[in-house]
Structure 1
Amino acid sequence: MAEEARGLYVAKDGFLGLESQVATRRTRMEIPNGHGIYAFPGKLQERVVPIDAWCVARDEDDLQQFNIAVKSLGARGGMFRTAFEFRGLQVWADGYIGTTGIQFVDNGTGRKARLSIPLEFPKPQLYGENPLSPFTVASGGSVDISHDGNFEAAAVATVTGNMPTGWRLAGPSGAGITVNLPVSSSSVVTVNLATGWVWQNGVRRLRAVGGSFRPFVIPGATPVGITLSTPSGSGTASIALPNTYN
């Protein structure tokens, strides 16, 4: 005897916004007494993934349990991580339930309900596992880092060793960051190379960047060389770089 259907089933064309590029916002300004408009660079907006599905249950009590479970998703309005898998690609993003909320409507049978989940992600990027990450570079050396995505990725470096007077991580064309925090057995420093944010033993440190900071991100499929240097001592940087997609 065939097993009775039970569970959540995505409706036809009920899963949009994941594989499509998100909308672009751009400042629009007409050229006074001229043809056309000024050309401003565009920026991607947030990613919206509305899910339209059916919930099929054994009976009314079972349907009610599905109702409770589904509406617990993001029930307190906070962010949560959502993982997706399609055609062998596994990605994730952090988001929340949209302002319309989750809709769960019984179709009158007590066993079936229409379900709408408006997922919204503040950032357009989708992230996946990079089998080559983390990359490692020792002081005085260099390493090429890369990822398999199609969008700019932010590298996060964790620096350890014995560098009492600070150190510098440098990328292409003079981009890089100089950090004046010491590194030792009791001081592990982490830095986001795209934002310049620095943490020491898990605590964010302000005014830890010495000299100029020029952020850099890692484009997909193009290796970028990174060097680690220090005036004294020695150390190692472990650089995490996720596959990043738009």
Structure 2
Amino acid sequence: MIFDEVPTTVRAGAMVFSGGAGDDGFFIEKWKGWGPVATKRSITKRSNAAGSFPTQGYPDDRTLIFSGRCHANGAERMGWFENQFSGLFMDGLGGRVLVEHGGYVTWAYGFRADQPDFESEIPGSTSTYQLGLWFPDPRKFGLITPDQIFSGPHGVNIITQNDGNYEARPVMTVSGNMPGGYLVNGPNALGYGVTHAVVPGHPHVIDMNDGSLTIDGVRIYGATPINADTWGVPPAGQAVQILHPASGTGNLSIAVPPTYI
């Protein structure tokens, strides 16, 4: 296996794995899997012709494997590190894994991939470890900064930008006073229409990953009888959205996380 250049830092749950060397904590010496992923597709062979029928491919899931050494000053400290390592994501729910590497800070949602390894090398001083993390969604997301939030009043074209290399799904926040609901027009004649009133101080949050609408953290059902299209912002590209109130006035704010594959 060819390993990639080690990252600056990997943060998983409450744990920190550092690139390079040190005398207290976990340090990464080898890692693989944060770069390109395989493509998956359903293949149907041509029975009376060469090859197969063309089908669209999609990024496959991601597995990150890294290993190195854990250093500690004494057996008690080493035991604490081992317990921390053994309990990582053992609730089965997984968690956010944040990676600083190559000048970028990205994160993805990962789970334990297999049996981890933690072995004493020098008792009370040095242990070796290996950890695998599985990411069913292979996308990596950059941190949202003010540069990735695009806002404007109703009736105005809002041009969003994706600085990543893969389609980004925006999260839209609709605020104001719109008793009759509203329609958000997106690219390619797509639209997201809501009949539920927008009340001052209780904005609507629309997640283009799954088309969900939430108000004050509660998911709302049955409020999109017009249409509930979803869309993305193309890699290194732009998309235009515009808010149309049925009545009243409103504001549209769109957060676009840089998205990578």
The verdict on a shared fold, with TM-score over 0.5 as the criterion, is: yes
- Residue 75 of structure 1: which of 74, 90, 94 is its match? 90
Match of 2:75, as an amino acid?
E
Distance (Å, rounded) in 2 between the aligned partners of 1:196 and 1:6? 45
Counterparts of residues 13-32 of structure 1 (less than 5 Å): 14-18=30-34, 20-32=35-47
Aligned counterpart, 1:126:
140
Taking the TM superposition and a 5 Å limit, the aligned residue runs for 1:58-137 are 58-98=73-113, 100-107=114-121, 109-131=123-145, 132-137=147-152
Aligned to 1:141: 156
Partner of 1:188: 203
Pairs within 5 Å for 1:94-243: 94-98=109-113, 100-107=114-121, 109-131=123-145, 132-185=147-200, 187-243=202-258
Count of equivalent residues: 240
C-alpha RMSD of matched pairs (Å): 1.9
Determine the C-alpha separation between the residues in 2 that align with 1:194 and 1:78.
20
Deviation, structure 1 residue 139:
1.1
3-state DSSP class of the match of 1:106? strand
Q: What's the TM-score once normalised by structure 2's chain length?
A: 0.86
Q: Which amino acid in structure 1 is aligned with residue 234 of structure 2? A: P
Q: Distance in 2 between matches of 1:118 and 1:45?
A: 16
Structure 2: gaps spanning 5 or more residues = 1-21
Shift of 1:238: 1.4
* CA distance in structure 2 between the aligned counterparts of 1:9 and 1:192, rounded to whole angstroms: 37
> Per the alignment, do residues 231 and 241 of structure 1 end up closer, same or farther by CA in structure 2, a change over 3 Å counting?
same
Contact 1:159–1:237 under 8 Å retained in 2: yes
State the AA in 2 paired with 1:182: A
The offset of 1:108, in angstroms, is 5.9
The alpha carbon displacement at 1:5 in A equals 2.9
The 1:211/1:36 distance shift into structure 2, 3 A limit, reads: same
Match of 1:34, SS? coil
SS of the counterpart of 1:64?
helix
Aligned to 1:228, what secondary structure does the other structure show?
strand
Given that 2:151 and 2:253 are in contact with CA atoms closer than 8 Å, whether structure 1 keeps it comes out as yes
TM superposition shift of 1:6:
3.2
Give the counterpart of 1:8 among 26, 29, 35. 26
Are positions 1:245 and 2:260 aligned together? yes
Provide the C-alpha distance between the structure 2 equivalents of 1:143 and 1:162, rounded to a whole number of angstroms: 19
Aligned position for 2:4:
none
CA distance in 2, matches of 1:185, 1:133: 24
Preserved contact between residue 130 and residue 148 of structure 1 (Cα < 8 Å): no
Q: TM-score with structure 1 length normalisation?
A: 0.91
Name the SS of the counterpart of 1:107 in structure 2.
strand
Match of 1:34? 49
